[in-house]
Amino acid sequence: MKGWRGTLSGVVARRTVQAAALLLFFGLVLAARRHGDAGPSAWWQGFFLLDPLVLLLTWLAGHAVPAVLWLSLATVALTVLLGRVFCGWFCPLGTIHAIAGRFLDFCWPRRKQPEHWSRWQLAKYYLLFAVLLSAACGVHAGAVLDPLVLLYRTTVAVLLPGVQWALEDGSNVLGLSEPARQLLRERVTEVEHQAFLGSGLILALFVALLALNRWRPRFWCRYLCPLGALLGAAALRPFLRRVARESCNQCELCGLNCQGAAAVTPGGEWLAAECLGCLNCTAACHRGSLGFRLAWPWQAAPACGSGTGLDRSRRRFLSGLRGLAGAAAGGLAGMFLLRATPQSRGSTGSENLVRPPGALAEREFLQRCTACGLCMRICPTGCLQPTLGEAGLEGLWTPRVVPRIGRCEYGCTLCGHACPTGAIAALTIEEKHAVKIGIALIDRSRCIPYAYARDCGTCVEACPFPEKAIRLVDVEVQFHDGRRQRTKVVSQPMVDPDRCTGCGGCVKECTFKDEPAIRVVSANETRTPSVKPFLDMQPKPAGKPPQPAASPPGENPYVG
Amino acid sequence: MSNYSRRDFLAHSAAAGMLAWQADRLLAAGDAAAARPADMAIARWKGPEPKDATDPQLAGIATKLTQQAIDALGGMRRFVKRGDVVWVKPNIGWDRKPEQAGDSNPQVVAALVAMCLEAGAKTVKVGDYTVHAAVKTYETSGIAPAVKTPGGKMVFLDKQRFKETAINGERIKTLLLYPEIIECDLVINAAIVKHHVLSNATLCMKNYMGVMDNRAPFHQDFAACLCDLTRFMKPRLCVLDAVRILKDHGPVGGRMEDVAVKTTVAAGVDIVALDALGLELMGKEPGETRKAASIIKYAEESGLGKANYRGLALKELAVT
C-alpha cells in the first residue's frame, strides 16, 4: 500500500479556511452597524448562530431560545461527522491562538517538545459541566467564557476602539485625518472616539489567554474552552478518524506538531475528542504513515504502533467521576456565590444599572445575556457600555446605558434586533417610545437655574419628545448680585415622570461636562414594576376604562 | 496749430481724462436708485398652493424661491469671487425628515451650493455641528443627498478640531470655534425658521451656534452671546428658509401638526432684518416671542443691523 503523501495541501487548505473564517468574523463585526435606514440584518449575529454552547446555555437557563439559534446544531452535526474541525478550521479565537502561539515561539524561540495528552485537558470538560449545571439552575454567566462571545466582546470593546484610536490620532499626525475619519465613519463606526468603560479588564483576560500559548500551544483550546469541550463530547467517535499504518516508527514528528495534544503517549492512542483536525500530523509524517479514514462509530479506533491507549480502568473512571463531583460542587458553589449579591437578592437596584430599552426583567435578562457585546457594537451613539460591578459578578460585561457617553437614540431600536439570545426584546419604534428605561433626576445642587439662579434649559432643548418630558417652570428666585439681594425670574426644569423614558439626551447635553446636573436612574423602568416610584398620572382616555391586561408571567412584556 | 503748446496738450489731455473718468459716474447717477443692489429680498410663492408640508412640489418651489431671492440681491457673484471656498451653514441639528421642518430645507441648501459653484467658487462645503448622530442626521435631513447633485461637499465636524479662538465680544472673550468654517472666504447662513423652547425662535443668528462647541453656556444670556458670535462671524449673506416652518415644540420638533407651509425664502445682508422677518413669519403673539424679540432688539442696539427690514433696500418678489 502506498504511503499517505502530499497531505501538506491539507494544511494549506486548513489555513486558507482559517484565514477566511477569521476575516469573515471580523467582517461581520464591522458589518454590524447602522446602514442608513436599512433595517436589522441576520448577518449581525453571524457566528453566534453556529455556536451550540450559546444555544445550550440559553436554553437551560432561559428555557427559551430564538429559533435561529437552533442552526448551531449544524455545528454539532459537523462535529459528529468530522470531529472538532470547527475548533481547528473555523473558530476565529482558535485561529488567533494558533497565530499567537507561533508568534510567541518566533519571538522567544524554545525547544519544541512532543505534545501528549494530559489529564489537565479534562479541565475543560469539568468547566463545561460546571457551567451547564449552573445554567440548569438559571445562571447564564458561564457564557462569558464562550470563545466566540469572548472574541466578539474583546473585538468590540478593545480591538476596534484601539484601531480607531490609532487611525484617528495617527492620521492627525500624518495629515490624513479626513480620509481616515471617512474610512471610520463609512466602514467601522459612526461613533467618534468610541471607547468602552472597563475595557482594560476585557483586554487583560484576552492577553492572559494569548500569553498562555507560550506555555502550551493552544492552551485555551486544550484546557479551558467550554465550547471545545462540548464539541469534544460530540466527537468521541466521529465518522472521520485518524489511522496509522504499520510503517509508523514512532518518531514523534506528529506529536511535535499536534495542536490539540491528541495522542496519549508516543505512538499511543489518538483521542478524537482532543484532535482539532488540523492535519499537521499527516503533513509532518515523513513515512506517510498517518491518514484520515471514515469509520462507523461502533468501530474501534486503531492505535498506532505498540503505544498505549487511554487508561480506562475502573479506578480512572471513578476518579473521573470524582472530578465531575468537584466540578458540580464548584459550579453550584459558584452559582450561589455569584447570586449572593444585593442586586441578585433584589434588595437593591443599582441606580447606575440602566438597561437598554427592551431588556427583559433583570433575572430573565441575565438568564439570556451572554455579554457578547453585539448590542454595544450596534449602538449608534456608543451609549451601551459593559458593566463592571453594577450588575454583580453574574452580570459582568452585560450592557448598560451610560448617557454621559451617549443618549439612547429616540428613533433607534437596533440593540433589541441585534441581540442573538433575545435578552433584549426586538421592539418597534412605537413600543420603544412607550418603554421607560429609567427616569431623569435633577441634582438641584448643581443644576444652574436652581443653584445659580441663571437660565439654562439645555436639558429641555435636548429632550427628544416633541412635547418634552422636561419642561421649564418660571420661578421667582432670590439672589445676591454682590451689592444687594435681588429678585428675578428663572426658568427651572422639571421632569414629567409620565413621559420621561430615561433616554439620557438631557444628561448627554447637560452644561456640566464633568458630573452632570441631571442623571438617569433606573427607578422608573418598565421592566421592573416592583420598584416603580410613580403613579401614572396621565389623563384618562375618554370612553371605557382600560381593561386589566392578562399576560401570563414570564411572557415578554413588550411584545403583543 | 503751431502754438498748441505741450502745456496745452497736457492740460487738455488731463481735462479729457477727467471727463472720461467721471462720465460713467455722472451717467450712472441718473439711475442710481435702480442700480443700487438690494439689501434684502423676500421671495414668496404665488403659484398653485401646495397641499401640505409633504407635497413633493415644495422641492421645486424651494429651489425657485432661493434662486430668485439671490438673483434679486444681485446674484451670487456679488458675494462669491472666483476661487473662493464657501461654507453653507444650514441648520442640521436634528435627525428629522425635511417635511418635519427640523432642519433647513435641502433644496434651499442645494440651490445655494449650485449658485456658489456657478459663480466660480472652488469648493462649497456644507456642514453643521449636529446634536443627533451626524451620519444619520445628514442623511435623514435630506441635505446630504440634495447637496451631492450640484457638487457640494458635506463635511463632518470633528469634536477634536474645535479650537479656542479669541472673539473679544462683550460677554464672550474666547470660543471653541471650528477653524475649517471660519477660515472659509464666505460663510452663508442658511437658517430655517423654527420655534425654540428656550429662545422662542431659532433664526439666522442662533444658526451660527453650529460653528462652535460647548454651546450650553450661551443659554445663560442668549442675547449678548449671540450678538458676540454674530459680530465675529461678520455675516455677509444670510438666507432665511421659511418654505416650511416649525411653529411649536422646537427645536427638536417631530410633530407634523406643528409644521406650517409658508413657501417663503428671504435673503439679505442684514442678519437682524432677516431675523425680524423670521419672527414675523412665526405668526405668534408678542407675548409668546418675548425672548426672541429681546435678542433682536439687543442685536439692533449693538449695531448689528436693522430690525425694521422695510426701511432697507428691499425687494419683494412674487414667484410663480
pLDDT in tens, A546-557: 555 555 545 555
B158: nearest CA partner in chain A: A192
State how far residue A508 is from chain B, nearest Cα, in angstroms. Answer: 10
More confident residue, B36 or A380: A380
d(CA A246, CA A254) in angstroms, rounded, equals: 15
pLDDT, tens digit, 9 for 90 and up, residues A148-186: 999 999 999 999 999 999 998 888 888 888 888 889 988
Output the pLDDT for position A7: 57
Output the pLDDT for position A560: 39
| Residue A184 contacts B where some CB pair is shorter than 8 Å | no
Output the pLDDT for position B30: 46
State how far residue B191 is from chain A, nearest Cα, in angstroms. Answer: 18
Q: What are the φ/ψ torsions at residue B145 (nearest 5 degrees)?
A: -65, -40
State how far residue B221 is from chain A, nearest Cα, in angstroms. Answer: 8
B197: nearest CA partner in chain A: A461
pLDDT, tens digit, 9 for 90 and up, residues A395-420: 899 999 999 999 999 889 999 999 99
CB contact under 8 A, B136 and A467: no
Contact (Cβ atoms closer than 8 angstroms) between residue A213 and residue A219: yes
Report which of A196, A141, A142 is spatially closest to residue A391, judged by C-alpha positions: A141
Output the pLDDT for position B15: 74
Mean pLDDT of A62-70: 87
Output the pLDDT for position A2: 47
| Residue B50 contacts A where some CB pair is shorter than 8 Å | no
Helix (H, G, I), strand (E, B) or coil at A117: coil
Mean pLDDT of A190-204: 93
CB contact under 8 A, A411 and B197: no
Q: Which of B159, B216, B258 sits opposite A511 (nearest CB)?
A: B216
d(CA B283, CA B288) in angstroms, rounded, equals: 10
Output the pLDDT for position A41: 85
Output the pLDDT for position A307: 56
Question: Which residues of A are less than 8 Å from B159 in CB distance?
Answer: 192-193
Helices A92-107 and A199-211: angle between axes, nearest 10 degrees: 60
Q: What percent of chain A has pLDDT over 70?
A: 92
| Residue A192 contacts B where some CB pair is shorter than 8 Å | yes
CB contact under 8 A, A466 and B159: no
pLDDT, tens digit, 9 for 90 and up, residues B268-285: 999 999 999 999 898 887
CB contact under 8 A, B95 and A410: yes
Q: A331-336 long-range contacts, Cβ below 8 Å, gap at least 24?
A: A331/A129, A331/A130, A331/A131, A331/A132, A331/A133, A331/A134, A332/A133, A332/A134, A332/A137, A334/A130, A334/A134, A334/A139, A335/A133, A335/A134, A335/A137, A335/A138, A335/A139
State how far residue B28 is from chain A, nearest Cα, in angstroms. Answer: 50
Helix (H, G, I), strand (E, B) or coil at A318: helix
pLDDT, tens digit, 9 for 90 and up, residues A200-236: 999 999 999 999 999 999 999 999 999 999 999 999 8
State how far residue A39 is from chain B, nearest Cα, in angstroms. Answer: 13
Q: How confident is the model at residue A491 (pLDDT cuts 50, 70, 90)?
A: very high
CB contact under 8 A, B219 and A462: no
Output the pLDDT for position A331: 85
How many A-B residue pairs are in contact by the CB < 8 A criterion?
81
Contact (Cβ atoms closer than 8 angstroms) between residue B217 and residue A510: no
Mean pLDDT of chain A: 87
More confident residue, A302 or A80: A80
Beta strand pairing call for B237-246 and B186-196? parallel
Q: Which of A181-195, A454-468, A478-492, B19-33 has the lowest mean pLDDT?
A: B19-33
| Residue B219 contacts A where some CB pair is shorter than 8 Å | yes
Whether the CA torsion B167, B168, B171, B175 is positive or negative: it is positive
Please report the DSSP string for chain B in residue order: -TT--HHHHHHHHHHHHHHHHHHHHHHHHHTHHHHSPPSEEEEEE-SSPPSSTT-THHHHHHHHHHHHHHHHTT-GGGT--TT-EEEEEE---SS--GGGTSS--HHHHHHHHHHHHHTT-SEEEE----SS-HHHHHHHTSHHHHHHTTT-EE----GGG-EEEE---SS-SEEEE-HHHHTSSEEEEEEEEEEETTTEEE-HHHHGGGGBS--GGGGGSHHHHHHHHHHHH--SEEEEEEEEEE-SSTTT---GGGEEEEEEEEEES-HHHHHHHHHHHHT--GGGGHHHHHHHHHHHHTTS--S-GGGSSEEEEEE-
How many Cα atoms occupy the beta-carbon half-sphere of B266 within 13 Å? Answer: 30
CB contact under 8 A, A456 and B253: no
Q: Which of B136, B216, B220 sits opposite A509 (nearest CB)?
A: B216
CB contact under 8 A, B219 and A455: yes
State how far residue B283 is from chain A, nearest Cα, in angstroms. Answer: 20
Contact (Cβ atoms closer than 8 angstroms) between residue A57 and residue A131: yes
> What is the model's pTM?
0.87
Output the pLDDT for position B316: 84
d(CA A268, CA A251) in angstroms, rounded, equals: 12
Parts of chain B with a pLDDT under 70: 1-2, 17-35
Q: Which of A121-130, A339-348, B189-198 has the lowest mean pLDDT?
A: A339-348
Contact (Cβ atoms closer than 8 angstroms) between residue B69 and residue B241: no
Mean pLDDT of A274-278: 92
Output the pLDDT for position A550: 53
B251: nearest CA partner in chain A: A461
CB contact under 8 A, B252 and A185: no
Output the pLDDT for position B235: 92
d(CA B205, CA B222) in angstroms, rounded, equals: 10
Beta strand pairing call for B123-126 and B85-90? parallel
CB contact under 8 A, A458 and B158: no
Output the pLDDT for position A546: 54
Q: Which of B156, B220, B253 sits opposite A466 (nearest CB)?
A: B253
State how far residue B133 is from chain A, nearest Cα, in angstroms. Answer: 7
d(CA B106, CA B102) in angstroms, rounded, equals: 11
pLDDT of residue A351 exceeding 80: no
Q: How confident is the model at residue A333 (pLDDT cuts 50, 70, 90)?
A: confident
Give, in order, the Cα–Cα distances in Å from B56 to each of A202, A220, B90, B113: 51, 61, 21, 21
Grid cell 431659532 is found at B202
